[in-house]
Every structure is written in C-alpha cells, then in structure tokens.
Amino acid sequence: MTAALLIIGTGGLVAASCGLLGSFLILRRMSMLGDAISHAVLPGIALAFLLTQSRHPIPMLFGASTLGLVTAFCTEFLHRTGRLASDAAIGVTFTWLFAVGVIVISLFAGQIDLDQECVLYGEIAYVPWDTWIVGGRSLGPRALWIMGGVFCCDLAFVFLCYKELKVTTFDPDLARTLGISTRTFHYLLMGAVSMTTVAAFELVGAILVVAMLIAPGATAYLLTDRLGWLLLWSVAIGILSAAGGYGLAMMIDASIAGAMATVAGGFFVLALLGAPHHGIISRHLARRRSFGNGPPVT
Amino acid sequence: MSGLSANVLYVLVGTVLFGISAGLLGTFVVLRRQALIGDALAHAALPGICLAFLLSGGMKHPVFFICGAVVTGLLGSLAMRAIVRQSRIKEDTALGLVLSVFFGVGILLLTYIQHQPFGNQSGIDRFLFGQAAAIVGRDLWLFGGIAGMVICAVMVMYKELKVLVFDPDFARSIGLPLSRIDMIVLVLTVLVVTAGLQSVGVVLMAAMLVTPAVAARQWTDRLGAMLGYSAVFGALASMSGTGLSTLAPHMPTGPWIVVCATAIFALSLVMAPHRGIAPRWWRHRQTSHRIHEENTLRTLYRLVEDGRGENVSIAMMQQYRAISLRQGIQILARLERRGFVIPIGDRAAWHLTSAGLREAERLVRRHRLWEVYLSRYLQLGPGAVHAGAEDIEHILTPELEARLEAVLQHPAVDPHARKIPYATGEER
C-alpha cells in the first residue's frame, strides 16, 4: 500500500511539474519544442554519466539542462540564420542530438548504466526501492525527493514570474514595450522544461514526458479561458492521470508510465467531447440551438 | 565470409531504398510545413504493431506488423486533423498529443504482451529502436516495393502534387480531387514511416523525412531538382551511415544514418551556393567593400574639387567621412590594387589615377543627378536629398543613369550648386 502511494506520489509530482510548464508551452505554440528537448537531453545525460562515472543527480541535471538549452538555441539559429521553417528546424535538431546520444551510449555501453529501453519507457515501478540513504538512515525514495525539488523549483518559477510569463506569452509586443525581455523568459522556460524533463526521464521515459507535458495542459485548455485556472486544472488532471494510470497498470499488469499517458489521453478525449464551452458536443448543441431559434442574437 | 558480405549487402540495399523513398516524400512533407508529421506517424505505429501481434496470436510476420502500423498511423493522423478542426487546440499541440498518447498506449500494450506467456521474444523492440542489421532478403522486396510505389506516385502525380504543395486554393478551384491526393500522400508516408521503423527506429524516423529534404532545399528553388537532391541525399546518408556502423561491432545503424544525414545538411546549410551561410556572408562582405570603396573615391573627388590639393591624406579624408584610420588604410589598399589610386611618398598621401578619376566622376555624377531628380520632381529641399542619393548611387544601373540624365536634360549643377561632372575622358 505504501509502495503504491509512493509511486502515485512520484508520478503525481512528475505530472504536476510537467502540467505547469506544459500549459505555457501550449499557449506559446511550442509543444513540439518540449518534445524536442525531452529527446535531446539524452547526450547530456550520457556525457554526464561518462564524465562523473556516477548516477549522481546534480551533474545529470546540469548536463541535460545544458543540452536542452542547446536545442533551443540550435532551433532558433536554424530558423533565423538558416531560414528553415521552425518545425523543420526542430526536426533536424532533436533527431541529431538523440542519434548522437544513442551512439555515445553504445560506444561506452560498458561504462554507462543506461539502456535504450530505460530511455523510452522509464521505470517508475522501482521508485519505492531506490531509497536515499544519508548517514545510515533512509530518508525515503530518492526519486520522490528529486521530483519534489524539481516541482518546488517549477512552482517557484511560475509563481515568481507569473506576470512576466503571462505577458510574454499572450502579448510579446506589450512585453517589449514594458521592458520585459521575451528572449530571457523564453530561455528561462526552456531551462525549466529541460530540468523537469531530465528529472522525469528516468521515471517515465523520453516520450511519455511529452504526454505529461502536453495532455493535461491541452485538456485544461478546453475547460477554461483563464490562465490561473488553466494551471490549476492542468496540475489536477496530471495528478488524476498519475493515480488513474497506476490503477490501470495494476489491473492489466503493464507499464505504469504507459498507462499514465493512456489515462491522460482518455481525459483529453472526454474534455474534447464534453467540455462545457469548447467541447464538441456543447458546440454542436449551441449551433443547433442558434439555428433552431433563427439567426443568433448577439 | 560470403554470408557476411551478403548480409551487409542486404542491409545496404534496404537502407538505400528506404533513404530514397523517405527523401522523395520528405520533400512534400517539408514544403507543406508538416515536418514533424513523420515523428507523429512513427510513434502512432507502435500500438498498431502491438495490436497486430495480439490479434494474430503471436505471429511475427512483418506484413501483419505493417498492416497494424498503417492502420493506427492513419488513425493518428485523422485524429490530429479532427482535433484541429473540431476544437481550439492548435496544430503543434495536436501533433504532440497524438504522438505521445498513441505511444503511451503502445507502451502499455507492449508491456502487457511482454508479461504474457507467449510474448517473451516478440521481436517488437526491433521496430522501436530499429535494427537495420536484421534486414533479410525478404524485407528487400518490401523496401523495393515501397520505393517503387513512391517513385511511381511522384512521377504520375507530379503536377497534382506540385499544385497541392504550392497553391492548394488554385488546385481546389480547378477541381482537382485534393482530399484524395492528400490521402494518397498520407498513405504513402505512413508506409514509408512503417518500413523505416525497422531501419532507424521510432525516434529517428522524423530525421529521415526532414533532414535530407531541408538539405536539398538549400541547393535549389525548383521542385523537380529538390526531389532529386533529396533522394540522393537520403541514399547517400543511408549508404555512409550503414558503412560507418559496420566499422565497429555492436554499432547501431539508425543513429549513424541520421548523423550522416545531419552532416550533409550542415554542409548544405553552410556551403550551398545561393542560400548557404558562407556564400551569403561572402556576398554581403563584397557589397560592403564595394560601397566603402565607392564612398572613398567620392570623398577623394570632393577633396580635389574643393581645392585641398591633389594628394590626399587619411586625416583629410576623415574631415569629410567618418572612417577609422585602419579602415582608411584597408580601403585605400584595395583601391590601389584596382588601380584607382597610387600612394605618394611613404604612403602618407594618396593620388587619384586617371582611371580612379573617371570612376569617381561616374559615381559623383550619379549621386548629383539623383539629388537633382529628388529636388526637382519630389520637391525635397537641398538638405534632404543627400541621404537618399548616398544609398541609390551604389545601385543605379548605367541604363537608369542615362534615362535620368535625359529626363533631367543634362543639368549643370546639383541642388548644392556643385558642378555635375560629365564624362571627361570618354566622348559622348
């Protein structure tokens, strides 16, 4: 029972951190940059392993965040100087970095305790047994501590920079006239996304991080028109997906991370159909009503 | 020994065939700004492969896998369209959503299969990470068939595809069955992606569609040529990647192919004659040199005209134009090489040669003619005409200059009452 709670708690922290940042990615139309970063951190992790010969989280976070920023820079460079469409720039950048990461891992396969399966699925089920031991005393699962720290960082970032993030997201021109650097906040957000992605990487894998980044935010986006509520909804939906995913995984004996993504997708489909204002059904009804009563009254 | 080389040959031919088809289709994908659709389709294929495995009761025939992958790949892309059309979710979010959720479902099914008694050696991972080394003769028929279909489709529907890419509204207006063509392209893309899963794996599939095509875009502005370049780049990347990965044991082929494709792209980005960064930088540098040289020649002319002496020092030039000493020395050295000035004494002063004088007169004439034009036809005051002339003198063509001269009827002086020099050396 406690093991289940620990797994759900860790998954919930992953989902909540990703949901907070993912909402901004969706609003800024940069969802795929999140996808790119989550893949491109791989060589950073591999190099950090190789240089420090340990799984210590600090160098890993550092290496991966650097690579995340490199991705953001490269994409920007290819888009501006290389005159590529931005999605093509993303496609070239992250695949290249991921390929380099896979090559580094297979070159030093003996020295890097990291395999491709782990990269793609992650393994959240082992969380309760990988404990953090300080001075002979166990302080509980290490992943829970790391994810907790990352969540606090993200929360502090969004809380402290709420106004700046809001204005640079919705009205970059206004932000510029107010003297708020859109570039600074772009890269700060990218840095936060990289950090969160790499922390969640071991737990849910590179691709399901994307599900956690995008699905709760997209669901919330259909439910509300206000940024504050969007963030709250997306954190709540993320946590619900984590809990529901754990249940589903236990039921059919399968990957917890995969089940979390599946449940998050299920929530999205529900919202897509049944959301009060932006759902398909309510839009359909509204259209029928306005046709039924003659021309719509405005 | 011969078995090994035959195996390597299979892999080589298989990946090259795949590289060609991906390069061709990638051109359309990139030009239609759907570069990441390959990424989404590749991920969406996973649940299909797993379902095919489950439904067929553990059969491992690649045809089953491909059917499953095609079905869920199509389903994924239709879901993407439906989400964008039916709600306020934007395209990039829909793409990421379909990609990650479908993949999540796939992982769920995959782990479910692995925990089943019959699922231990399902061979599904091969589709996930790509294992080009496992390509056998049977797969070559598949790759060859897909490449042939893609080439045929592109050749038969070239005109329709061109219109679809560049002007879909026009295509609709002339009654082309746009959605049907679109569907054919989508099905072909799904087929290529599915086949590619085996050689490069899920994550790197996106690169095979995007990277050769964007590299090709650097070299040409024509669709036909871009298709050619892209197919060649795709084949080249596959060939060199496969070759490199055989150098060491246990090297993954897919990542090496992608790294080679990216190297080709990087070279194209820097070196391509028209759009490349290096040629663009070089052209910019040449233009800026020319403008500096022309400005300096005019300054020398002004100094002579104002009676400051025939031999001019850089200090004197600096009274007329904001240039640094270093800049002045460099520009004068370039002018000397072109035979427009000669140094006097210890390179302390410079003298316009007769060729330099002719060139300077030409520039000053353009400048002053334009000033006259601005003040006469646009009623600009004498103070406002100089800046405009400063820019246009560098780009006026001789034909325009002759027209200008005729329209203005050979004015004698400019708005600042300076004499306009007409050709001294050449007869008119």
pLDDT tens profile B144-163: 888 899 999 999 999 889 99
Whether B246 is covered by a domain: the verdict is: yes
pLDDT at A110: 65
End residue of a domain, out of B275, B293, B312: B275
B3 vs A106 pLDDT, higher one: A106
CA distance B179 to chain A (A): 23
| 3-class state of residue B200 by DSSP | helix
pLDDT tens profile B168-200: 888 888 888 888 888 888 889 988 888 888 777
Q: Are residues B288 and B265 in the same domain?
A: no
> Which residues in chain B have their CB less than 8 angstroms from residue A210's CB?
96, 99-100
Q: Do B269 and A264 touch (CB under 8 A)?
A: no
B236-271 burial, b if ≥16 CB within 10 A, otherwise e?
bbbbbbbebbbeeeebbbbbbbbbbbbbbbeebbee
Mean pLDDT across B234-244: 92
Q: Are residues B242 and B334 in the same domain?
A: no
> Which residues in chain A have their CB less than 8 angstroms from residue B253's CB?
none
Task: Say whether residue B278 is in contact with chain A using an 8 A CB cutoff.
Answer: no
pLDDT at B426: 46
Q: Are residues B167 and B255 in the same domain?
A: yes
Short-list A102, A127, A141, A269, CA closest to A204: A127
Which residues lie closer than 8 Å to A160 by C-beta, 6 or more apart? none
pLDDT at B34: 86
Q: Within a 10 A sphere around the Cβ of A5, how many other Cβ atoms?
A: 12
Strand partners, B344: B349
Instruction: Check whether A115 has a pLDDT greater than 70.
Output: no
Q: Are residues B151 and B174 in the same domain?
A: yes
Which range in A77-81, A216-220, A289-293 is most confidently predicted, on average pLDDT? A216-220
| 3-class state of residue B57 by DSSP | coil
Instruction: Check whether B228 has a pLDDT greater than 70.
Output: yes
Instruction: Check whether A267 has a pLDDT greater than 90.
Output: yes
H or E stretch covering B342? strand B341-344
A2-206: CATH, from 3.40.50.261, 3.40.640.10, 3.40.190.80, 1.10.3470.10:
1.10.3470.10
Contact A153, A195 (CB under 8 A): yes
> Which residues in chain A have their CB less than 8 angstroms from residue B125's CB?
117
Instruction: Check whether A50 has a pLDDT greater than 50.
Output: yes
pLDDT tens profile B18-65: 999 999 999 999 998 888 888 899 889 889 988 888 887 766 677 788
Split at pLDDT 50, 70, 90, the class of A157 is very high
Q: Do A253 and B275 touch (CB under 8 A)?
A: no
What is the rounded distance in angstroms from the CA atom of residue B199 to the CA atom of residue B133? 8
What is the rounded distance in angstroms from the CA atom of residue A114 to the CA atom of residue B303? 73
> Which residues in chain B have their CB less than 8 angstroms from residue A98's CB?
203-204, 255, 258
Q: Do B96 and A252 touch (CB under 8 A)?
A: no
Pull the structure tokens for residue B206: 């996106």
Please, what sign has the CA dihedral across residues A245, A249, A252, A255?
A: positive
Whether B387 is covered by a domain: the verdict is: no
Contact A91, B250 (CB under 8 A): no
Q: Are residues B81 and B108 in the same domain?
A: yes
Short-list B99, B7, B113, CA closest to B54: B113
- What number is the ipTM of this complex? 0.89
| 3-class state of residue B249 by DSSP | coil
DSSP state of A296: P
Mean pLDDT across B235-258: 87
Which range in B218-232, B322-336, B340-354, B379-393 is most confidently predicted, on average pLDDT? B218-232
Q: Are residues B283 and B241 in the same domain?
A: no
B58 vs A80 pLDDT, higher one: A80
Q: Are residues B267 and B348 in the same domain?
A: no
Report the alpha-carbon angle A213-A218-A219, nearest 5: 115
Give percent above pLDDT 90 in chain B: 26
Whether B79 is covered by a domain: the verdict is: yes
| 3-class state of residue B349 by DSSP | strand
Whether B245 is covered by a domain: the verdict is: yes
Q: Are residues B192 and B313 in the same domain?
A: no
User: Going edge to edge, which strands form the sheet with B311-312?
Assistant: B311-312, B349-352, B341-344
> Which residues in chain B have their CB less than 8 angstroms from residue A103's CB?
251-252, 255-256, 259
pLDDT at A276: 87
Pull the structure tokens for residue B415: 């708005």
Task: Say whether residue B294 is in contact with chain A using an 8 A CB cutoff.
Answer: no
Pull the structure tokens for residue B382: 């004498």
Domains: count for chain B:
2
Instruction: Check whether B343 has a pLDDT greater than 80.
Output: yes
What is the rounded distance in angstroms from the CA atom of residue A102 to the CA atom of residue A122? 16
What is the rounded distance in angstroms from the CA atom of residue A240 to the CA atom of residue A243? 5
pLDDT at B425: 46
- Please name the residues between 192 and 221 in chain B that touch chain A, using a CB distance below 8 Å: 202-204, 206-207, 209-211, 213-214
Strand partners, B350: B312, B343
Q: Which residue of A has its CA nearest to B29?
A: A88
Q: Are residues B157 and B305 in the same domain?
A: no
> Which residues in chain B have their CB less than 8 angstroms from residue A214's CB?
93, 96-97, 100
B121 vs A250 pLDDT, higher one: A250
Mean pLDDT across B376-390: 81
CATH of the domain at B257: 1.10.3470.10
Instruction: Check whether A264 has a pLDDT greater than 90.
Output: yes
Report the alpha-carbon angle A220-A226-A232, nearest 5: 50
End residue of a domain, out of B352, B387, B414: B352
What is the rounded distance in angstroms from the CA atom of residue B215 to the CA atom of residue B221? 12
Contact A22, A216 (CB under 8 A): yes
> Which residues in chain A have their CB less than 8 angstroms from residue B251's CB?
103, 106-107
Q: Do B34 and A91 touch (CB under 8 A)?
A: no
Exposed, middle or buried by CB within 10 Å (0-12, 13-18, 19+), for A129? Answer: exposed
Q: Do A39 and B203 touch (CB under 8 A)?
A: yes
Whether B427 is covered by a domain: the verdict is: no
> Which residues in chain A have their CB less than 8 angstroms from residue B240's CB?
none
pLDDT tens profile A174-191: 998 999 888 899 989 988
* Structural domain boundaries, residue B202: 2-275
Q: Within a 10 A sphere around the Cβ of B165, how many other Cβ atoms?
A: 18
pLDDT tens profile A134-150: 777 777 788 888 889 99
> Which residues in chain A have their CB less than 8 angstroms from residue B255's CB?
98-100, 102-103, 106
Task: Say whether residue B304 is in contact with chain A using an 8 A CB cutoff.
Answer: no
What is the rounded distance in angstroms from the CA atom of residue A258 to the CA atom of residue A239? 15
Q: Which residue of B has its CA nearest to A88?
A: B35
Q: Quote helix, strand, coil % in chain B, to nearest 5.
A: 75, 5, 25
CA distance A276 to chain B (A): 12
What is the rounded distance in angstroms from the CA atom of residue B257 to the CA atom of residue A224? 45
Dump the DSSP string for A110-151.
TT----HHHHHH---TTGGGSEEEETTEEEEEHHHHHHHHHH
Q: Do B30 and A85 touch (CB under 8 A)?
A: yes
End residue of a domain, out of B335, B352, B369: B352
Q: Which of B108, B211, B271, B275 to mutate to test the interface with A (most CBs of A within 10 A)?
A: B108
CA distance B85 to chain A (A): 10
What is the rounded distance in angstroms from the CA atom of residue B103 to the CA atom of residue A35? 13
State how far Cα B206 lies from the chain centre. 17
pLDDT at B126: 66
CA distance B70 to chain A (A): 20
Q: Are residues B230 and B242 in the same domain?
A: yes
CATH of the domain at B323: 1.10.10
Short-list A204, A200, A197, CA closest to A259: A204
Whether B428 is covered by a domain: the verdict is: no
- Please name the residues between 65 and 84 in chain B that touch chain A, using a CB distance below 8 Å: 83
Q: Do B100 and A31 touch (CB under 8 A)?
A: no
Mean pLDDT across B384-402: 83
DSSP state of B413: B
Instruction: Check whether B1 has a pLDDT greater than 70.
Output: no
Which residues lie closer than 8 Å to B1 by C-beta, 6 or more apart? none
Instruction: Check whether B2 has a pLDDT greater than 50.
Output: no
Whether B17 is covered by a domain: the verdict is: yes
Strand partners, B419: B413
Which residues lie closer than 8 Å to B159 by C-beta, 6 or more apart? none
pTM for this entry: 0.85
Q: Which residue of A has its CA nearest to B203?
A: A95
Dump the DSSP string for A5-45.
HHHHHHHHHHHHHHHHHHHHHHHTT-HHHHHHHHHHHHHHH
Q: Which of A39, A95, A124, A208 to mutate to test the interface with B (most CBs of B within 10 A)?
A: A95
Q: Are residues B137 and B232 in the same domain?
A: yes
SS3 for B283-334 is: HHHHHHHHHHHHHHHHHHHHHHHCCCCCEECHHHHHHHCCCCHHHHHHHHHH
Which residues lie closer than 8 Å to B86 by C-beta, 6 or more apart? A272, A280, A283
Contact B99, B39 (CB under 8 A): yes
Q: Are residues B220 and B322 in the same domain?
A: no
Q: Within a 10 A sphere around the Cβ of B167, how many other Cβ atoms?
A: 12
- Please name the residues between 24 and 63 in chain B that touch chain A, using a CB distance below 8 Å: 30, 33-36, 38-39, 43
Instruction: Check whether A114 has a pLDDT greater than 70.
Output: no
Mean pLDDT across B210-217: 94
